Amino acid sequence: MTAAQPLLRRKLRRRGVSEPGYLQNVEERFGHYEGTTEPGRLWLHAVSLGETRAAAILMQALRELRPDLRFLLTHGTATGREQGRALLREGDAQAWLPWDTPAAVRRFLAHFRPSAGILIETEVWPNLAALCAEQGVPLALANARLSEKSLSRARKLPGLARRAYGSLRAVWAQTETDARRLAEAGATVHGVYGNLKFDATPDEAQLRLGREWRATAPAPVVMFASSREGEEADFLAALRAHPGVQWLLVPRHPQRFDEVAAQVAQAGFTVSRRSTWIDAPAPAEVWIGDSLGEMPLYYALADVALLGGSFAPLGGQNLIEAAACGCPVVMGPHTFNFGDAAELALEAGAARRVADMPAGVAAAVDFVHDVGGRLQASRAGEEFAARHRGAAVKTANAVMALLT
């Protein structure tokens, strides 16, 4: 890890070309900070956008229990840090998680002196975990999940994995399957609390605006939600066979907005981007959702959503938000990052699974024309999301116990 630091600097410079956020406060990545800071903040690490949204839910629950609690938020991606900035209140702080070398981690802990650390979902680094244990900083893994693929990697380095997971003071898993895998990796699981993302409440103003725009749409709206690189080409290739549909494409990563818009135009489709809309979506064959933090608006605007990351072997994206917004989901075969949630959504009737992208587009089009089936799936999604809430309160109480 120490030898790889120059490679990290090069990677950050390269990423910073498309995402300037990666060029901000670079020295924090190596444990160098300006000024002084007060000790005692509760440290939450949310590596990227999805984890930051989960952290927001947990922070709200913790503030209800202890309004005076001050937080330190750390991140690994520019989108996570940008989203996290909106969660800060007076007395809170934000920084990059240090690169996992002993020296950088020691400087990080010495500078911030957190009361405890809560890692969100998957981010367990060996030096970070070992040094927190050595210095008496309680470190827990919340909303914890571990895919079979990640467990297979851990099996190849059992000594390293068991040392890292074994250094954690507590682990609160999303599902029994995750708990079993985490235990095999070396963690001591203290509870299975469910997924924090079920406790998210969709923004009512966004839902209302999305429904207003849907009422004026020229045709049924099919959305490709959180699409990933390599999937858009297959999606665009399948569209010509299904006229009479308004297509909405929302890329997962904001640095790809321009690239995806150009790709759609090169495929011969007219394009309208959310960033140019004023009172309503402008007419075009494909709408591009090029904004952050507006997924409830897009789900309300859509009749059906294709699940990004599931049509290529990328593990899928979170479908809980779609269900909570009442938007039926069509997913591909690859949902290993959210396996239990995907299976539960299928069982509830909130989602359908298909073999590939052409089948997915065809299934989505069938869905929008099956009004009764679509409304039933929409209600099933809302009920499914409501039924699995409660992880935030359980996790917040466990964190408070960790602090005492």
**Predicted confidence (pLDDT) per residue in 9-57, tens digit:** 999 999 998 889 999 999 999 999 988 899 999 999 999 998 999 999 9
- State the average pLDDT over residues 329-334: 97
252-291 confidence digits (pLDDT tens)? 988 899 999 999 999 999 999 999 999 999 999 999 999 9
184-231 confidence digits (pLDDT tens)? 999 999 999 999 999 999 999 999 999 999 999 999 999 999 999 999
Look at residue 318 in the predicted model and tell me its pLDDT: 87
pLDDT at 404 over 90: no
> What share of the chain in percent tops pLDDT 90?
92
Look at residue 185 in the predicted model and tell me its pLDDT: 95
The band of 292, judged by pLDDT with boundaries at 50, 70 and 90, is: confident
Look at residue 340 in the predicted model and tell me its pLDDT: 86
* Pick from 282, 210, 268: nearest CA to 239: 268
pLDDT at 339 over 90: no
Using DSSP's 3-state secondary structure scheme, residue 252 falls into coil
- State the average pLDDT over residues 84-96: 96
CA atoms within 13 A on the CB side of 77: 15
Look at residue 96 in the predicted model and tell me its pLDDT: 98
Between helix 371-387 and helix 339-348 the angle, nearest 10°, is: 130
**What CA–CA distances, in Å, run from 178 to 66, 156, 187, 200, 265?**
29, 18, 11, 21, 42
Look at residue 338 in the predicted model and tell me its pLDDT: 86
Report DSSP state, residue 336. G
First to last CA, the chain: 34
Angle formed at CA 391 by CA 123 and CA 168, multiple of 5 degrees: 35
How many other CB atoms sit within 10 Å of the CB of residue 18? 15
- State the average pLDDT over residues 166-194: 96
**pLDDT, the chain, mean:** 95
Between helix 231-239 and helix 357-369 the angle, nearest 10°, is: 50
Look at residue 400 in the predicted model and tell me its pLDDT: 97
Contact of 114 with 42, CB cutoff 8 Å: yes
**What CA–CA distances, in Å, run from 164 to 74, 191, 222, 395?**
19, 19, 43, 21
Candidates 51, 231, 232, 321; catalytic one: 51
Give the pair of three-digit tokens for residue 344: 């539960």
Q: Which residues does residue 93 pair with via DSSP β-bridges, in sequence order?
A: 72
Q: Is 27 a catalytic residue?
A: no
- State the average pLDDT over residues 379-390: 96
- State the average pLDDT over residues 330-353: 93
> CA–CA separation, 238 vs 225, rounded Å?
16
Q: Which residues contact 55 (CB under 8 A, 6 or more apart)?
A: 44, 46, 73, 84, 87, 120
Q: Which residues does residue 227 pair with via DSSP β-bridges, in sequence order?
A: 251
pLDDT at 112 over 90: yes
